[in-house]
A = this chain, B = another copy of it.
Amino acid sequence: MDNRAVGIFDSGIGGLTCVREINRLLPHENVVYFGDTARIPYGTRSRSTIESYARQDMNFIRRHDVKLIISACGTVSSIMGARKDYDGLPYTGVVIPAAQAACAATRNGRIGVIGTPATIRSGAYGKAIRAIRQDAAIMGNSCPLFVPMAENGITSPDDVVVKEMTARYLKPLKKENVDTLILGCTHYPLFADAISEYMGADVTLISSGAEAAKYAQSLLTRMDMLTGNEENGANTFYSSDSADMFEENARLFFGGEINGSVSEISMDELIEG
């Protein structure tokens, strides 16, 4: 038993899809979340900048007495590769959980991956899938406009811009006849309806944030690190830009008001660590 919190971070608010799933699967756990809203997006930046931001994010999360760090950011997860701990603390990203789910779901062995430019460039999903299923055929494409579209509320499947960008980004994967598609960035579930409409209902969509939450559940269970708390856990949110903006935008991902306090932290607090 371990009553410390589960630490989750993301470049912004996309990782809240993971928090929501942790709350659902493990309602007694406390969650500490950090969203780096002052520096989002990560996925269009260079590898070394992403590495340095990720290190600062994890050091910040570490300082909150957590038992597990989840990177709920597809971009950071891709760059961290297959690592299982951060400085002695259990760690998981979204890549391996999503790769496992995709390998379990595919019937024809043809798996598509969409993500940010940095994620696709890293090849991390491909490596993780092939480690499980050597003969899988993997097709990736980056969708650089999906994060800003999501952050600006342009997600409706009836919106012509959503339809057009979805078709543009997914056409090469559809042509390759994938039957399973990893939404390799935690913002992308907001486009699930549009993507399903374009790809067809028989293509299984894998939400990387939700899979990371399931993976964390089995990890904590296996390591006997679940909380002993019997009442409901609490969420504590931190953001590097305005707490009000965080709260407002968070509704999109949380499907309603977020249940927990939000505090803005200064850049000094973030970088010092």
Measured CB to CB, the residues of A under 8 A from B are 37-39, 44-46, 48-49, 52, 144-145, 147-149, 151-152, 154, 160-161, 164-165, 240-242, 245, 267, 271
Contact = CB atoms under 8 A, between A and B. Distances in A.
Contacts of A52: 267
Contact of A44 (B149, B151, B164, B165): B151
Nearest to A246: B46
Contacts of A38: 39, 45, 49
Contact of A160 (B37, B164, B240): B164
A250 to B, nearest CB: 15
Contacts of A242: 45-46, 48-49
Contact of A149 (B37, B145, B271): B145
A241 to B, nearest CB: 5
Contact of A164 (B39, B45, B144, B161): B161
A229 B154 CA distance: 51
A52 to B, nearest CB: 7
Contact of A241 (B45, B152, B154): B45
A240 to B, nearest CB: 8
A253 B46 CA distance: 20
Nearest to A144: B152
Contacts of A241: 45-46, 49
A149 B152 CA distance: 13
Contacts of A271: 267, 271
